[in-house]
Structure 1
Amino acid sequence: MTDRSAINELTILFDHILEEHGFGWDHWHSLLWNLHNVRPEDWDALPVGGGRTIRELVIHIGRGWAVYGDNGLTGKPRQWGDDDLDGILPGTSPAEVERWLRAAHARYREALTKLSDHQLDDRAEAVWGEKFEIRRLIELQIQTSFYHIGEINHIRALLQGNDDWDHQDMGREDEQ
């Protein structure tokens, strides 16, 4: 039997990026929860002095999952910017982007769950060409995703003129 305890834990952490279920009400850091209060007009808006939109950040996260899921975990070649995931593209509406994002998440997750713990020490290529242990590339996707989720929340707060602290749940109390 193959040891998969580390892979199982990494899969749980990766799943929590998209949707948090483990802490009940405290899922404020998940991507879908942070997109919950993004208005349609916020998707392509730039805050004063900003350089990226929420849509661009969401697609950047999904691209990372697709590229690293293919290149880093399965060895299948995928170029940055190749957004076609078995016929699913980001589209233009928030709903289309979310559908594509879920497909990118599922693709990475599937590749991750096929690994064994001993493969975490194998080396694979990052998008910039340098080789790292697979465990480091997985860590990169988890950390980078949460970093960009924070950016998304900050841009949303700037565009809407509010900040979503725990004690200011922005009207989502009824959905818990």
Structure 2
Amino acid sequence: MERRDVVVHTLGPAGTNCEAAARQWLRDNAAGNGTVVLHPTLEDAVPVVLEEPARNVLLGCVVYPRLHELVFQNLSSMALRECFMMPTHNMVLAAPSRGPIETVLSHPAPVDLVSGRGYRIQLSTSNAAAAADCAKAVTDACITTRPAADANNLLVIEDFGPVDMGFSIHVPHQSEVYPR
């Protein structure tokens, strides 16, 4: 199988660090060819990856909550095959408008960027989902990526910069991308 036939399944919606990592992995491993499919959670992606085990891979982030469960609960059907590093998008605290911030929506992984500030934290499935919901005024602000903030017309209150991050590639045992 040529690497251009690979489908990388990862965390969405558009604007996540996982999406950026999936596109980078395709550039590095499939000459930029292949497809990225975004899912609400990595847990939702696993059964889809297993539907076409020869060509699908799952891309995770090493700080994804419960990544260990994805690995150990799926040992009979898939395996961790690769890890790589890349910087995330700039991580930002963003809001629909300037004003007092009491509630912040965040994926569990970057929530510590604003710990100790007295905000009431609500959790989201991804940084990009946090931005989309924040734009609907679900909360006063969110922790998200710069592209997700921009896509949702949010004001950047604070820019924490990029974070060096690890990303993992998980493949079904019947994979032609990484044959056993």
Q: Normalised by the shorter chain, which TM-score bucket?
A: under 0.3
Higher helix share: 1
